[in-house]
Amino acid sequence: MAGNDATGVRRSVKVDQASRLRALVEGSRPRALTVAVTSGKGGVGKSNIAVNLAICLAAKRVRVVLVDLDMGLANADLLMNLSVNYTLADVLAGTHTLDTVCQVGPGGFRFVPGASGIDELANLSEFDRQGVISQLHELETSADIVILDCGAGISHNVVGFALSADQAMIVTTPEPTALTDAYATIKTMSAQGFAGKVAAFINMAHSRTEARATYERLSGVAENFLNFFVAYAGYMLHDTAVEQAVRQRVPFVIRHPDSNASACIAAVADDLVKQCRGQRLGGGFFRRVVGLFV
């Protein structure tokens, strides 16, 4: 009986905590649209797309925050040639707040750097991972769109962060190995009961026709075997301008604004702006974290 009483007390405390937390977020203030950019396989251009997408959105006068959540292997700062003093690792350690680690990225968007080469970040506990998500709620009322540059693969870190977003953009290329891993990511999110929008972005396509065929192949498998709908986020053509920009550490939409790749990313940004304008009130990161207490 004593054990049952203790269990009841703990549950009562959790419910009481949840009630107080809900009271903090029940307001009807507009919140940011959160987009997790992830991939099943590394090397498909995920971070490059996230960075350049943030720049395009900022150019459209959208308040954007880019968060590098590729825990342990962060590199978005290198693509922008930014000098980073403090990162999410410092936020987790409790020595800094999100505001103090936040930097201004090219074009004026806010950037929260991740850390690289830290084993503890690559293997966060569920408690620490939810701690990161709960702190990100601060961004929701001061931004229109929050882009989460998640890692690649289906680790607890990657999937956990992606599940916290409103929608997930799965980046893949037409290569069979990349498609297989992209499907694995979609399958994992489906199994976890993700209720948001999942969309496939086809990178390094040689033509619009190839990109569309690749998407239809991936979405068809997901529909047939998982009964899960995958939307089309768009595509980016294979462009040597992208490779040149990466080597020079200058985002390609800045270094080569008239390139095919820049036009493709601009189209994706236009679509996100439309979705952002229709974003519902309430909810968000904090509401999803509150759900963990009950």
- The CATH number linked to 107 is 3.40.50.300
State the pLDDT at residue 5: 53
Is residue 1 in a domain? no
281 versus 208: the higher-pLDDT residue is 208
Q: What are phi and psi of 284, to 5 degrees?
A: 100, -170
Is residue 264 in a domain? yes
* Parallel/antiparallel/unpaired status of strands 167-172 and 110-112: unpaired
pLDDT single digits (tens) 111-164:
999 877 666 666 777 787 777 777 777 787 789 999 999 999 998 888 988 998
Q: Please measure the distance between the N-terminal and C-terminal CA atoms of the chain and give it in whole angstroms.
A: 22
pLDDT of residue 203 exceeding 70, the answer is yes
- The dihedral sign for the CA sequence 128, 130, 134, 139: positive
Is residue 47 in a domain? yes
Contact 202, 58 (CB under 8 A): no
Contact 170, 185 (CB under 8 A): yes
201 versus 87: the higher-pLDDT residue is 201
Q: Which residues have C-beta within 8 Å of that of residue 35, sequence separation ≥ 6?
A: 145, 146, 147, 148, 165, 166, 167, 168, 169, 272
Contact 147, 67 (CB under 8 A): yes
For residue 78, name the pLDDT band (cuts at 50, 70, 90). very high
- The dihedral sign for the CA sequence 47, 229, 221, 232: negative
**Closest residue by Cα to residue 35 from 195, 164, 166:** 166
Contact 66, 80 (CB under 8 A): no
How many structural domains is the chain composed of? 1
Is residue 130 in a domain? yes
Percentage of residues in the chain having pLDDT higher than 90: 63
State the pLDDT at residue 279: 60
Is residue 95 in a domain? yes
**Closest residue by Cα to residue 46 from 185, 143, 213:** 185
pLDDT single digits (tens) 20-39:
444 444 444 568 899 999 99
Token reading at 286 = 């904090």
Q: How far apart are CA 190 and CA 183, in angstroms?
A: 10
**Closest residue by Cα to residue 290 from 16, 9, 32, 22:** 22
For residue 234, name the pLDDT band (cuts at 50, 70, 90). very high
Is residue 10 in a domain? no
Is residue 54 in a domain? yes
Q: How far apart are CA 5 and CA 161, in angstroms?
A: 35
pLDDT of residue 54 exceeding 70, the answer is yes
The domain in which residue 208 lies consists of 31-283
Q: Which residues of 127-164 are buried (b: 16+ CB within 10 A; e: fewer)?
A: eebbbbbbbbbebbeebbbbbbbbbbbbeebbbbbbbb
Is residue 188 in a domain? yes
pLDDT of residue 266 exceeding 90, the answer is yes
Say if residue 254 is exposed, middle or buried (CB neighbours under 10 Å; 0-12, 13-18, 19+): middle
